[in-house]
Amino acid sequence: MSKAKNKNAYLGIDIGSISTKGVVIDSENKVLASSYNWTNGNPLGAVKDLLLALKKDLPSGYVVQGVGTTGSARRLVGVALGANVVKNEITAHAIGTLSVVPDVRTILEIGGQDSKIVLVNNGVVSDYAMNTLCAAGTGSFLSSQAKRLDVPLEDFANLALTSKNPAKIAARCTVFAESDLVHKAQIGYSKADIVAGLCRSIVLNYLNNLAKGKQIKAPVVFQGGVSKNKAVVKEFERELGLPVYVDKNGHLMGALGVAILSKSAPALLKEFSFDVADVKFETRGTECELCPNSCEVIQVFRDEVLIDSWGNKCERGVKNA
């Protein structure tokens, strides 16, 4: 009896500072397995756990022929896994999103610690912007305010959607927003109105800062952790006057994008295994002095070669710390 032939599969991993996401797809880009966990400051540990979960869910008969990494720790994890493609988040998210919404023109993304806008024309990225420096337009701002107001994050959107009179919250910066929030409570706004005001403020902050001067055209896709908040989606639709699409797998788009890219990259140098051996890296802590942010940067070396860094809020700090 002849043995069944193995089918090709491709792994994509998106390692962010907050969460780590992974998918395994087949040759037709169908997702065979996916997983998600917290990075907890330990990207290699998070990836090991992620791989165990993916291995468990992957149907038998598939062999991983390509591995792609993206996200802030993409180089480190790329070296550890022997990836055949390592790509920045902008390209990875665009490729992943195009595979789901082929005519997408605008990708809005608000994650835990950063936000992005990517404009796409005829399937190619034509412009983009990223914010990694200011917390006011990110998910961490919403979650810290939810805590201050004693509203569980999962109730935030539903409470906001009950508001008839959203409070106007100063949206430019977290410090102003926080003091404004206290002021609005003191003058009698309900919790629902304040929460609705916060959802609006995050949208206004995004559109007036990150997306300033960018031509937002339909179809518009919204992704990242904050896209799960229906009140924020509604505010985007109201402000843009356009429908905003949120895919249930929106958080996986970066991972999906690099999995797709790994299909056409040069072949893996060695056979992929879900059981990653311990790889030794040397880390050195230092401070970047190129601007007043004074980021505390952790540089990662293997054989004296700098392969990745943490804590730098911009690319300038990678080598110059």
**Candidate list 165, 215, 294, 319; residue touching ligand SF4; CB under 6 A:** 294
135 binds ligand SF4 (CB under 6 A): no
When CB distances to ligand SF4 are compared, the closest residue is 317
Smallest gap from Cβ 285 to ligand SF4, in A, equals: 14
Strand arrangement, sheet containing 244-245: 124-131, 115-121, 106-110, 220-223, 244-245
Nearer to ligand SF4, 215 or 293 (CB): 293
The type of residue at 24 is V
The residue among 68, 61, 86, 69 whose CA lies nearest residue 8 is 61
**Candidate list 295, 299, 300, 308; residue touching ligand SF4; CB under 6 A:** 295
257 binds ligand SF4 (CB under 6 A): no
Given a contact cutoff of 8 angstroms between Cβ atoms, the answer to whether 177 and 169 are in contact is yes
* Sites for ligand SF4 among residues 4-63 (CB under 6 A): none
* Residue 295: HSE in the Cβ half-sphere, 13 Å Cα cutoff: 21
Burial call 195-205: b when 16+ CB within 10 Å, e when fewer: bbbbbbbbbbb
Token digits for 277? Answer: 């051996």
Number of residues in contact with ligand SF4 under rule CB under 6 A: 11
Q: How far is 316 from 108, CA to CA, in rounded Å? A: 24
**Candidate list 19, 138, 227, 312; residue touching ligand SF4; CB under 6 A:** 312
* Sites for ligand SF4 among residues 263-292 (CB under 6 A): 288, 290-291
299 binds ligand SF4 (CB under 6 A): no
The residue among 222, 216, 225, 166 whose CA lies nearest residue 195 is 166
130 binds ligand SF4 (CB under 6 A): no
Residues that bind ligand SF4 (CB under 6 A): 288, 290-291, 293-295, 312-314, 316-317
